């Protein structure tokens, strides 16, 4: 039983990491708190549901979700956020507005029913891990989460693009003074962050269901992950995701109605000592 719950916590953490890493990248480099991130997650889920269901291919659904949400991110960045560049409070409220509109739009298109993204046959059924029967698909989510962490870590630490992002997180002004084309870097990062939200929606939509309000739930958890980990920190997001994922799972088992206290109590306590999170610095 304990092993089962542990795996539940770890798979949820993997999903949270994917969604929160996109959020923290954008927050870290562009200083944009994108509160439409939850809506982008839900959009990814719905697109994966439609494309995956019609083509019969889970992979096609995932790719379509990432592309569609990256394009939505591009439209959001170029179409709206561009006009309030550098004014963070206006940006935040703008993305809140976008999130509300998108949610309402989803309600019109997909209604209030819950959907699940269909999984491929190879990932259906259960496998035996650590002596417990466990759904194969959730194990796949766990592995995918780890793979994406490794991939992002390599990009951030071993490529020129990653070095530019890290430099931008530390000191955006200095970076632009060295002659780097920030505009392009920002657009690419915003699209990458959005694509990660879309990927999360496709992954999560197959084992948590998609419904109006799912975006707010995932947004709360992602915010907590980013707040714990610190702005723009990949490692912080991973640690935060593990913490929140495990606390949430065990909290739901032991104190079903009060799980929110179990999850967010430690976050509040941490913030009392480190207001900018584990790896974060003031923006």
Partner 1 sequence: MRAVFILAGLVALASMPLLLPSYQLGIASEILIFSVLAMSVNLLAGYAGRTPLCHGAIFGTSTYVVIIAAAAGVPVWAACLLGVAAAGGLSVVFGIIAVRTSGVYFLLLTLALGLIIWGICLRWTGVTGGENGLRGDLRQGWLADSQRLYWLILVVGAVLTFAMWRLVRSPFGLTLRAIKDSPSRMAALGHDVPAHLFAAFVASGLFAGAAGALYALFNDFVSPTTVALPQSVEGLLMAIVGGVGNILGGLVGAFVLIALEQFVSAYTERWLSVLGLTAIAIMLFAPQGLLGLLQRKSQ
List interacting residues with partner 1 (CB under 8 A).
31, 33, 35, 80, 83-84, 87-94, 96-105, 108, 216-217, 219-220, 223-224, 227, 231, 256-261, 264, 267-268, 271-272, 275-276, 282-283
Measured from the CB atom, the residue of 61 and 99 that comes closer to partner 1 is 99
Minimum CB separation of residue 104 from partner 1 in Å reads: 4
CA distances for 200 relative to 133, 147, 169, angstroms: 24, 13, 23
* Closest approach of partner 1 to the CB of residue 33, in Å: 5
Do 88 and 101 form a contact (C-beta atoms < 8 A)?
no
Residue with tokens 């495990």: 246
Q: Among residues 128 and 282, whose Cβ is nearest to partner 1?
A: 282
What sections of the chain are H helices per DSSP? 2-30, 37-55, 58-79, 88-110, 136-158, 160-170, 172-177, 182-204, 214-229, 234-254, 259-273
What residues are paired with 132 via a beta bridge?
Answer: 129
* Tokens at 48, concatenated: 């994966």
Least Å from the CB of residue 132 to partner 1: 27
Closest CA to 81 of 70, 67, 69, 93: 93
Select 62 or 76, whichever has its Cβ closest to partner 1. 76
Q: Within 10 A of 89 (CB to CB), how many other CB atoms are there? A: 9
CA angle 24, 31, 180 (to 5 degrees): 100
**Shortest distance, CB of residue 245 to partner 1, whole angstroms?**
16
Task: Output 17 or 23, the one with its CB closest to partner 1.
Answer: 23
Q: Least Å distance between CB 57 and partner 1?
A: 33
Whichever of 92 and 278 has its CB closer to partner 1, that residue is 92
Nearer to partner 1, 133 or 260 (CB): 260
Residue 8 CB, nearest distance to partner 1 (Å)?
A: 17
Token code pair at residue 246: 């495990």
């Amino acid at each position: 039983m304990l092993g089962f719950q542990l795996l539940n916590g770890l798979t949820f953490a993997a999903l949270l990491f994917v969604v929160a890493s996109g959020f923290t990248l954008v927050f870290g480099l562009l200083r944009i708190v994108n509160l439409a991130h939850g809506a982008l997650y839900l959009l990814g889920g719905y697109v994966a549901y439609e494309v995956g269901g019609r083509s019969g291919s889970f992979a096609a659904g995932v790719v379509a979700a990432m592309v569609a949400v990256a394009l939505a991110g591009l439209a959001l960045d170029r179409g709206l956020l561009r006009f309030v560049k550098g004014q963070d409070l206006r940006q935040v409220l703008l993305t809140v507005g976008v999130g509300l509109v998108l949610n309402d739009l989803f309600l019109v298109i997909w209604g209030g029913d819950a959907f699940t993204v269909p999984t491929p046959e190879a990932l259906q059924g259960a496998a035996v891990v650590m002596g417990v029967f466990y759904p194969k698909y959730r194990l796949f989510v766990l592995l995918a989460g780890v793979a994406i962490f490794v991939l992002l870590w390599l990009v951030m630490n071993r490529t020129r693009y990653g070095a530019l992002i890290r430099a931008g997180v530390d000191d955006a002004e200095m970076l632009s003074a060295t002659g780097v084309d920030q505009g392009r870097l920002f657009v690419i990062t915003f699209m990458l962050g959005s694509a990660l939200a879309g990927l999360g929606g496709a992954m999560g939509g197959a084992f948590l269901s998609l419904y109006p309000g799912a975006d707010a739930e995932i947004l709360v958890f992602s915010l907590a992950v980013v707040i714990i980990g610190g702005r723009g920190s990949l490692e912080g997001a991973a640690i935060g995701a593990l913490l929140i994922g495990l606390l949430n799972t065990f909290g739901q088992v032991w104190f079903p109605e009060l799980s929110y206290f179990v999850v967010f109590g430690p976050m509040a306590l941490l913030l009392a000592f480190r207001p900018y999170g584990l790896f974060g610095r003031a923006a």
